[in-house]
Chain A
């Protein structure tokens, strides 16, 4: 077992462990912290695949900005006290079934891809570096890229319009 494999398994254990913590912990603040740790572990996986840009953007956007807003809301509403009542039993069962179905579909989709053979890429493969990623985005995929940016803009304007007082 060389060092990359060791890192891979370590990150995997951290990711799954903290993901479980999100669901199981009673205090929502701990759930948010668990989610942040999960993002870090996933970023570690990205770095093992030499996708440095993806890794750091994952940290800046999700761990650095979006989770701060989550924490913000939880702190302001003071949700830490476990006041939430138990949900309907049937609802729980349905939720469990739906979740497992999604999980099954994901596994089936990923079973035959080449990802299985290529768990890590050390020093090889520059597809995840800034230069090659930028070139792809602004040449091959320029139309979807621009459309998604327009989508973001419209979402932003919509939020401002809804949030504005009469």
Chain B
């Protein structure tokens, strides 16, 4: 079906995929709020939300409905355009990252191979970095446009924290890229597919990446932009209604996406452990294998989301100077060392 020199089936296929991924991220983020409260309750020996629906499963819907119907307040002295742009940017950048992630083995629909990946671009992981580095604008603009000193302080904290931890994150990633020899996400997964996962070669790199992911998503122990005992409520203090909801929601989407990226980079992506997918495909068909691989990726990602929550309800937050100290004086040298050692070992083995 070609019209105006455009392959429309291709466009429809991608649109369906994008819609599915965005919906998936939203639903996972929604239930992550429920999961967060249940995990918190479990750790603190409580029951957690259990009134709305069976086991409180309708709680996220009730929360969303509440947020939508609350009164929307825009402070008089703030810049209205920037005030609305803040949560919008936070949400958009949170969702954009999912475009280059391979979500599963390719499907076969009507003699057409459909890869479960929106765009397999040459720069793959760098695209993720580009989008993550833009995530800081949501916090900065929101905090500044609120015209409130606490919000501004929180925004500046958030920005400096995210810029500092991006460096260590990139350095720890270079080691993985040296192992793979490509930036393409599909190649990074393909190298680990039915082989040894990258975590076996890069345990230190993974730990650095994980710590930086915590800092990038503003989760405890790095949630200084919203440290309520110092800054009231942080950068979203002046926000109400769904605009506040979008900020909180974007954090959960970021958490989920960073879980997926960690699984993709270090834990084999959609590779089912101890199973040879090619021989499985001959038994149950290609599409079922694609579904199974997708579910595997989800299990890995949700495990990381759980670890994020576990950390939040276990560890108190850092002081800001401790955070900067850890980022610049501990993680960056460690990541550099890890990079150099990896490079030396690779060169030595290849000789």
CB distance from A51 to the nearest CB of B (A): 10
The chain B residue sitting closest to A75, CB to CB, is B144
- Determine if B5 and A3 form an interchain contact, defined as CB atoms under 8 angstroms apart: yes
Fill in one digit per residue for B122-148: 1 if any A CB lies within 8 Å of its CB, else 0: 110011011001101100110010000
- Determine if B122 and A59 form an interchain contact, defined as CB atoms under 8 angstroms apart: no
Q: Specify which chain B residues have a CB less than 8 angstroms from the CB of A29 in the assembled complex.
A: 79, 82, 141, 144
- Determine if B133 and A64 form an interchain contact, defined as CB atoms under 8 angstroms apart: yes
- Determine if A52 and B121 form an interchain contact, defined as CB atoms under 8 angstroms apart: yes
B284 at the interface (CB under 8 A from A): no
Known: A72-B156, A129-B122, A130-B123. A64 touches B140 (CB 8 A): no
- Determine if B122 and A64 form an interchain contact, defined as CB atoms under 8 angstroms apart: no
> Which listed residue (B122, B137, B155, B159) contacts A52, Cβ 8 A?
B122
Query: How many chain B residues touch the partner (CB < 8 A)?
Result: 27
Q: Specify which chain B residues have a CB less than 8 angstroms from the CB of A68 in the assembled complex.
A: 133, 136-137, 140, 159, 163
Q: Specify which chain B residues have a CB less than 8 angstroms from the CB of A106 in the assembled complex.
A: none
- Determine if B159 and A72 form an interchain contact, defined as CB atoms under 8 angstroms apart: yes
Most buried by B among A36, A53, A56, A130: A56
Which interface class (under 10, 10 to 19, 20 to 34, 35 or more) fits A? Answer: 20 to 34
Assembled-state Cα–Cα distance A55/B136 (Å): 19
- Determine if A60 and B133 form an interchain contact, defined as CB atoms under 8 angstroms apart: yes
Assembled-state Cα–Cα distance A60/B128 (Å): 10
- Determine if B159 and A60 form an interchain contact, defined as CB atoms under 8 angstroms apart: no
- Determine if B163 and A71 form an interchain contact, defined as CB atoms under 8 angstroms apart: no
Assembled-state Cα–Cα distance A87/B136 (Å): 34
Assembled-state Cα–Cα distance A27/B278 (Å): 59
Q: Specify which chain A residues have a CB less than 8 angstroms from the CB of B144 in the assembled complex.
A: 29, 71, 75
Give the dominant DSSP class at B's interface: helix
Known: A52-B121, A65-B163, A68-B159. A75 touches B130 (CB 8 A): no
- Determine if B134 and A53 form an interchain contact, defined as CB atoms under 8 angstroms apart: no
Assembled-state Cα–Cα distance A100/B183 (Å): 41
- Determine if A56 and B126 form an interchain contact, defined as CB atoms under 8 angstroms apart: yes
B344 at the interface (CB under 8 A from A): no
B6 at the interface (CB under 8 A from A): yes
CB distance from A104 to the nearest CB of B (A): 34
CB distance from B157 to the nearest CB of A (A): 11
- Determine if B123 and A52 form an interchain contact, defined as CB atoms under 8 angstroms apart: yes
Fill in one digit per residue for B39-83: 1 if any A CB lies within 8 Å of its CB, else 0: 000000000000000000000000000000000000000010010
CB distance from A62 to the nearest CB of B (A): 10
A2 at the interface (CB under 8 A from B): yes
Assembled-state Cα–Cα distance A53/B129 (Å): 12
Q: Specify which chain A residues have a CB less than 8 angstroms from the CB of B159 in the assembled complex.
A: 68, 71-72
- Determine if A57 and B126 form an interchain contact, defined as CB atoms under 8 angstroms apart: yes
A41-56 CB contacts (< 8 Å) to partner B = 52-53, 55-56
Most buried by B among A2, A36, A130: A130
B152 at the interface (CB under 8 A from A): yes
Fill in one digit per residue for B147-172: 1 if any A CB lies within 8 Å of its CB, else 0: 00000100110011001001000000
Q: Specify which chain B residues have a CB less than 8 angstroms from the CB of A64 in the assembled complex.
A: 129-130, 133-134, 136, 166
Known: A59-B134, A68-B163. A130 touches B140 (CB 8 A): no
Assembled-state Cα–Cα distance A80/B13 (Å): 46
A63 at the interface (CB under 8 A from B): yes
- Determine if B130 and A56 form an interchain contact, defined as CB atoms under 8 angstroms apart: yes
A91 at the interface (CB under 8 A from B): no
- Determine if A2 and B155 form an interchain contact, defined as CB atoms under 8 angstroms apart: no
> Which listed residue (B6, B122, B126, B155) contacts A75, Cβ 8 A?
B155
- Determine if B156 and A60 form an interchain contact, defined as CB atoms under 8 angstroms apart: no
The chain A residue sitting closest to B82, CB to CB, is A29
Assembled-state Cα–Cα distance A129/B123 (Å): 8
Assembled-state Cα–Cα distance A87/B16 (Å): 55
> Which listed residue (B82, B123, B160, B163) contacts A56, Cβ 8 A?
B123
- Determine if A60 and B136 form an interchain contact, defined as CB atoms under 8 angstroms apart: no
Chain B interface residues (CB < 8 Å from chain A): 4-6, 79, 82, 121-123, 126-127, 129-130, 133-134, 136-137, 140-141, 144, 152, 155-156, 159-160, 163, 166, 183
Which 4 pairs from chain A and chain B are nearest by CB?
A64-B133, A59-B130, A56-B126, A52-B123
Chain A interface residues (CB < 8 Å from chain B): 2-3, 27, 29, 36, 52-53, 55-57, 59-60, 63-65, 68-69, 71-72, 75-76, 129-130
20 contacts between A and B (CB under 8 A): A2-B5, A3-B5, A27-B79, A55-B123, A56-B126, A57-B126, A59-B130, A60-B126, A60-B129, A63-B130, A64-B129, A68-B140, A68-B159, A71-B137, A71-B140, A71-B144, A72-B140, A72-B156, A75-B144, A75-B155
Other than A29-B82, A53-B122, A130-B183, give 13 A-B pairs with Cβ distance below 8 A. A3-B4, A52-B123, A53-B126, A56-B123, A56-B126, A60-B126, A63-B130, A64-B130, A68-B137, A71-B144, A72-B159, A75-B144, A75-B152
